[in-house]
Amino acid sequence: MFTYMAKRENRNLVPKKFRKLRKSFLDNLQQDNNDSFMSFPKNLTFYGKEKDENVVLIVRSHWIIYVPYIGIALSILLIPILIQIVISGLAQSTPFFLALFLSCLTISFSIIVYAYVRWFYNVNIITDRRVIDLDFTTVVSHSLAEARLEKIEDVSHKQLGALGSIFDVGTVYVQTAGATAEIEFDNIPRPREVQDILYDLLESRQKGEI
């Protein structure tokens, strides 16, 4: 399900104003595009997007982060069997077993759908003017943080653990001027390249090339 829509987007249509730039990030952008790392997505907008603003990159968390959700969902499906083993009377009560099984099935399905929606809407957007971090934290809350490229002071990334090494997953930290909270791109694929893209965009912005 996480990669189902990967080929639907018409990607890599580099806008005119970027074609004249001689920056390494353009080469990085066009390699290995998927739903977690998509350059120049077509027909993508967001709340407050300016008319001539171009979306350069959208990055989502790596799918490996959501594997535990699938594990938990599958474990919940085993609960009716375990309860049947523990309580002998349950074997004689088919309606109760069915009720328990259906309950566990709907809960498992809820967990998988929740993981998918979290993955889809935990999105980081890099445009030629700003960076946006949309976080779907819980089912009752979400947050949207953004910073203009001019306000960015420092970009760094951190790669931790075995998963980070195996799947090239890491967190990119965008430090902005003033009291604004730091923007974090959590557990994204190819963090080093995202950092490079942001630095090149900052440089081009400062020179007035974009």
Partner 1 sequence: MDTNDFLNNLGGSNSILSFNFLSLLKLPIILILMGNTFFSLLLFLRVRILADTFKTPQNKIVKTIILLYTIMVAVGTLLSLLFVILT
The answer to the question of residue 98 lying near partner 1 (CB under 8 A) is yes
The answer to the question of residue 47 lying near partner 1 (CB under 8 A) is yes
* 3, 5, 47, 55 from 66: Cα distances, Å: 13, 17, 27, 26
The answer to the question of residue 70 lying near partner 1 (CB under 8 A) is no
Among 88, 166, 179, 208, binds partner 1 (CB under 8 A): 88
Q: How far apart are CA 85 and CA 206, in angstroms?
A: 68
The answer to the question of residue 136 lying near partner 1 (CB under 8 A) is yes
- Angle formed by the axes of helices 67-86 and 94-121, nearest 10°: 170
57: left (phi over 0), alpha (psi -120 to 50) or beta: beta
Nearest to partner 1 of 86, 162 (CB atom): 86
Binding letters toward partner 1, positions 181-210, x by CB under 8 A: ------------------------------
Alpha-carbon Rg of the chain, whole angstroms? 22
Number of neighbouring beta carbons within 10 Å of residue 184: 16
Among 24, 31, 93, 206, binds partner 1 (CB under 8 A): 93
The answer to the question of residue 103 lying near partner 1 (CB under 8 A) is yes
What is the nearest approach in angstroms of partner 1 to the Cβ of residue 69? 14
Among 75, 110, 165, 206, binds partner 1 (CB under 8 A): 110
Beta-carbon contacts of residue 178 (< 8 Å; ≥ 6 apart): 151
- Among residues 36, 32, 30, 31, which one has the least CA distance to residue 13? 30
The answer to the question of residue 82 lying near partner 1 (CB under 8 A) is no
Handedness of CA 199, 202, 207, 210 (dihedral sign): positive
The answer to the question of residue 99 lying near partner 1 (CB under 8 A) is yes
Q: Provide the binding-site residues for partner 1, judged by CB under 8 A.
A: 5, 8-9, 41, 43-47, 83, 87-90, 93, 95-96, 98-100, 102-103, 105-107, 109-110, 113-114, 116-117, 120-121, 123, 125, 134, 136, 139-140, 142, 144
